[in-house]
A and B are shown apart, each in its own frame.
Chain A
Amino acid sequence: MTKGRQKLRICVAGSAGGHINQLLRLSSGWRGHNTFFVTTKKVVQEKLQQYGKVYIVGECNRQRPFMCIIVLLRCIRIIFKEHPDVVISTGAAPGVMLCFISKILGGKIVWIDSIANVERLSLSGRLVRPFADLFLTQWSTVANEYSKVEFVGVVI
């Protein structure tokens, strides 16, 4: 970012583990903008704090539907409070929630599908793709199978 340019408010969202790991490798992509993080577990909070504010929403997935509701409410609160211009996410479920809520309020979505999905897009990715403004996969073979999906390279 050059000086004097308008800064964007960016939500960087990734579950603890591989999801947030991949996002952190891309941090030069949003350098100069105003960022905050959303992740799922306290274990990564310390590492993220050096880059900006960190929200912990808790872990949820298809096997824990009740927790999903709590996480959803937390995500809604965060988006209403922070009003990000862009959500950048690799998933998983909480990343999808943040993308959707933000989109409803006029935000943009940048999705980087996790490299862990080698055969097709992740379920999260397939849900987000129709609404994404920039959608990247880390497998060239996967990019060929979907429209609006770009392959630039692997993150990890």
Chain B
Amino acid sequence: MIFLTVGTVFPFDRLVRAIDIATGNGLIEEEVFAQIGTTSFQPTHLRYVDFLDKYTFDQYFKKSTFLISHAGIGTIATALDFAKPLLVMPRMRCFNEHVNDHQIATARRFEKDGYLLAAYNVEEIPAKIEQLKSFVPRRRQTQAEEVAERISVFLNELCELRK
């Protein structure tokens, strides 16, 4: 199963339509399930819902063989956690898909380091879907513990000051 998710805040008709077409014309042979959020386009070749609760969302995430999504950091991080092959297409401001174009920079950065595949427009999607079938994402090391420790130190200093 391929899980397509485009977040919950802004619509992302371009990506949902492109994946619906790819499913319809047989480029994607696997079953696709989508969380389309506020997207107004209604897919005809794939199963979809508007919103999933976090628990069900995670279940689909874990069950999927591949993921396709916007270049939202939440989805990217979760994909890296579960070591899932991910194809992203960044949202663009000119299509009213976000307040700015930061997703393009995010996609470039993570793509360059081998964490995901990125399509920067609808035309690139078919080739990227082919690549996705054999893509193995690089494992990511994080320093969440160290950052949490820095916050903990700050809070403890604050407590000391208040004594």
- Which chain B residues lie closer than 8 Å to A44 at the CB level? 54
B127 on the interface (CB 8 Å rule)?
no
Chain B residues 78 to 137 lying within 8 A of chain A, measured CB to CB, are 78, 80-81, 96, 99-100, 102-103, 105-106, 108-109
A110 to B95 CA separation, bound complex (whole angstroms): 34
| Shortest Cβ gap from A133 to chain B (Å) | 7
Q: A18, B149: Cβ atoms under 8 Å?
A: no
A154 on the interface (CB 8 Å rule)?
yes
Q: B150, A29: Cβ atoms under 8 Å?
A: yes
- Which chain A residues lie closer than 8 Å to B152 at the CB level? 28-31
Q: B77, A18: Cβ atoms under 8 Å?
A: yes
B155 on the interface (CB 8 Å rule)?
yes
- Which chain B residues lie closer than 8 Å to A41 at the CB level? 8
A115 to B54 CA separation, bound complex (whole angstroms): 21
Interface size range of chain A in the complex: 35 or more
Q: A18, B99: Cβ atoms under 8 Å?
A: no
Binds A, one of B15-23, B25-33, B140-148: B140-148
Q: B80, A156: Cβ atoms under 8 Å?
A: yes
User: B-facing mask of A108-119, CB < 8 A → 1, else 0?
Assistant: 101010111111
Task: Name the contact of B106 in the complex, choosing from A5, A43, A86, A118 (C-beta under 8 A).
Answer: A118
| Shortest Cβ gap from B72 to chain A (Å) | 6
Q: Nearest B residue to A138 by beta-carbon distance?
A: B147
- Which chain B residues lie closer than 8 Å to A46 at the CB level? 53-55
Q: A29, B8: Cβ atoms under 8 Å?
A: no
| Shortest Cβ gap from B32 to chain A (Å) | 21
Q: B103, A29: Cβ atoms under 8 Å?
A: no
A22 on the interface (CB 8 Å rule)?
yes
- Which chain B residues lie closer than 8 Å to A75 at the CB level? none
Q: B155, A8: Cβ atoms under 8 Å?
A: yes
Q: Nearest B residue to A88 by beta-carbon distance?
A: B151
Counting chain B CB atoms within 10 Å of each CB, which of A8, A27, A29, A59 scores highest? A29
Q: A150, B150: Cβ atoms under 8 Å?
A: yes
| Shortest Cβ gap from A115 to chain B (Å) | 6
Q: B148, A156: Cβ atoms under 8 Å?
A: no
Query: Assuming A16-B9, A86-B158, A155-B143, what are 16 further A-B pairs, CB within 8 angstroms?
Result: A8-B155, A17-B73, A18-B73, A18-B74, A18-B77, A25-B148, A28-B148, A43-B57, A44-B54, A88-B151, A116-B103, A118-B109, A153-B143, A154-B142, A156-B142, A156-B144
List residues of A whose CB falls within 8 A of some B CB. 1, 5-6, 8, 10, 16-22, 25-31, 33, 41, 43-44, 46-47, 59, 61-63, 85-86, 88, 108, 110, 112, 114-119, 122-123, 133-134, 136, 150, 152-156
List residues of B whose CB falls within 8 A of some A CB. 7-9, 51-55, 57, 72-78, 80-81, 96, 99-100, 102-103, 105-106, 108-109, 142-152, 154-156, 158-159, 162-163
Q: 10 A-B Cβ contacts within 8 A? A: A5-B159, A25-B148, A26-B148, A29-B149, A44-B54, A86-B158, A116-B72, A136-B147, A150-B150, A155-B147
